[in-house]
Amino acid sequence: MSGLARNGLVVAALLLSGCKVGTALIGSACSEKTECASGFCLQENRYGAPTGFPGGTCTAACDDSACVDGAKCVALAAGKLCMAACTGGCRGGWVCQAAIGACVPDCRGGPPCPTGQTCGTDGVCGDGTLVAGSPTGAELGAACDGDNACTSGFCIEAFDASNGGAATGWIDGLCTAQCSATAACAASSTCVTLADGGYCLPACGPEGGTCRQGYVCNATVGACMPDCRQGFSCGGTLVCGPEGRCVDKQVGPPPTNRPVGAPCANPMECAQGQCLMGTPIGSPFTGGWPGGYCAAPCESAPCPEGSACVAMGVRRMCLVGCGATCRAGYACDGHLNVCMPLCGNGQCPPGLACTPQGSCAPLQGPPPPGPPGTADAGGPPPPM
């Protein structure tokens, strides 16, 4: 397993943004992964369709004897997962698979058995090596919008429903699986220790492939990690580096505490640790940020005085208000009342056009539905 502690990186600092952990044990009923101590819930229904796991069940990735609380490691089509032991009986909709001593879904209640197996009179499918309802879908590292979209049955989603739909920084979601010293990842992935446990992430670098859009290769762990310039939290002890990787605060030039709107070449030059340079993922603004632009996230905090909160793709950022003048390369956007990069051909969002002054303005009449952002000076943004 690749550790995250070498080369000065602090394990706890790479936070899995928005992923809260509950208290329910392996085998307990669940409807969301945030209810489970393991952070992994096989839900009863996904997108209106039954999954074959009555009432849902808290589980965890395992490898033979890695389960806790007396749970048993059971081979599913998606991999090995911990299931509650039969001791004391199984809850409604589940039956004891005596051969392995674990509670499995009762196939007489509706969930089909895997191909090649039949439902026995005791409610157990075949020989128990596969359990009905095993999730299928995208491979590890692929985009996803829910656990059932992944072969592993585990998706780190792009937006956290339990936190008001806030962006997590995991662009378009990512199929993963839990891992540990005794539960290894597939050959194409690497076990990375985040603040709330080990997760299999796509391998990259000399031994692996390239990372998809919204992710960058972290050479320290040899895995694709979310680009911190697009919203992923680096925690309290690391900062976002110029290439989108979380780096130690001691790396690079010392902070210069530049205010919102000031030029920058590195996030550490800005007072709020955010330097806009390229075009944010999902942003309708396509012209880049000449000379860099110090900004500040405003999903949950008010903007500094003299700046306003503007929607920028998957994030909301504080941009400097127009005031008297904007610095070279920028113009006052009258629609948002903030300093934005001078526009050019094709650099304005749909429904807006570049004015002779170099700012984007509505083609005619009121702005069209779904404008690029709305300013909210002096306070945090409304819930997303």
In a domain, residue 82? The reply is: yes
Contact between 332 and 342 (Cβ < 8 Å): no
Could you tell me if 78 and 154 lie in one domain? no
- Please spell the DSSP secondary structure of 97-113, one letter per residue: ETTTTEEEE-GGGSPPP
* pLDDT bracket for residue 255 (50, 70, 90): low
Candidates 52, 199, 72; CA nearest to 132 is 52
**By the 8 A CB rule, do 262 and 255 touch?**
no
Number of domains comprising the chain: 3
Q: 241 and 280 share a domain?
A: no
Instruction: Please report whether residue 12 resides in a domain.
Output: no
Final residue belonging to a domain, choices 79, 109, 139: 109
Rounded to the nearest angstrom, the gap between the alpha carbon of residue 267 and the centroid of all alpha carbons in its chain is: 21
Are residues 276 and 237 both part of a single domain? no
Is the CA virtual torsion 121, 126, 127, 129 positive or negative? negative
C-alpha span between 131 and 357 (Å, rounded): 65
Whether the pLDDT of residue 271 is over 70: the answer is yes
**Final residue in a domain of this structure, among 197, 214, 248:** 248
- In-domain check, residue 134: no
Two tokens, residue 170: 């995991």
Query: Same domain for 240 and 186?
Result: yes
Q: Are the C-beta atoms of 279 and 296 separated by less than 8 Å?
A: no
Contacts (Cβ under 8 Å, ≥6 apart) of 257: 270, 271
pLDDT band at 170; cut points 50, 70, 90: very high
Distance CA 43, CA 59 (A): 10
Indicate whether 303 belongs to any domain. Answer: yes
Task: Establish if 132 belongs to a structural domain.
Answer: no
Lowest-pLDDT choice from 1-15, 120-134, 217-231: 1-15
Amino acid at position 374, single letter: T
Who wins on pLDDT, 131 or 287?
287
Q: In the β-sheet with 178-179, what is the strand arrangement from edge to edge?
A: 178-179, 197-202, 189-194
User: Which of 121-125, 134-138, 170-174, 336-340 is modeled with the greatest confidence?
Assistant: 170-174
DSSP 345: T
Within 13 Å of residue 188, how many CA atoms lie on the same side as its CB? 10
Q: What is the pLDDT of residues 14-63, one digit of tens each?
A: 333 334 568 888 899 998 888 888 888 888 876 666 777 888 889 887 76
Q: Rounded to the nearest 5 degrees, what angle is found at the Cα of 169, between the Cα atoms of 342 and 310?
A: 35
Residue 153: which domain range?
A: 147-248
For the cut 90, the answer to whether the pLDDT of residue 215 exceeds it is yes
Domain-terminating residue out of 109, 132, 167: 109
Question: So what's the pLDDT on residue 12?
Answer: 31
CB 289 within 8 A of CB 277: yes
Same domain, yes or no, for 244 and 151? Answer: yes
- How far apart CA 217 and CA 205 sit, in angstroms, is 7
* 76 vs 132: CA distance, rounded Å: 8
The two structure tokens encoding residue 43? 């839900």
Whether residue 299 lies inside any domain: the answer is yes
Q: What is the pLDDT of residues 276-300, one digit of tens each?
A: 876 544 454 555 788 888 888 888 8
Q: Is there a domain that residue 374 lies in?
A: no
Q: 290 and 208: one domain?
A: no
Distances (CA, A) of 191 to 198, 223, 279, 287: 6, 8, 30, 37
Q: Tally the residues of the chain.
A: 384
Q: Collect all residues with Cβ–Cβ distance below 8 Å to 277 and sequence separation of at least 6.
A: 229, 242, 264, 265, 288, 289, 292, 293
Is the domain of 237 the same as that of 158?
Answer: yes
Q: Is 244 in the same domain as 276?
A: no
Place of tokens 């997108």: 47
Residue 206 has φ and ψ, to the nearest 5°, of -55, -35
- Let me know if residue 380 belongs to a domain: no
Q: What is the dihedral of CA 26, 27, 29, 34, to 10 degrees?
A: 20
Q: What percent of the chain has pLDDT over 90?
A: 6
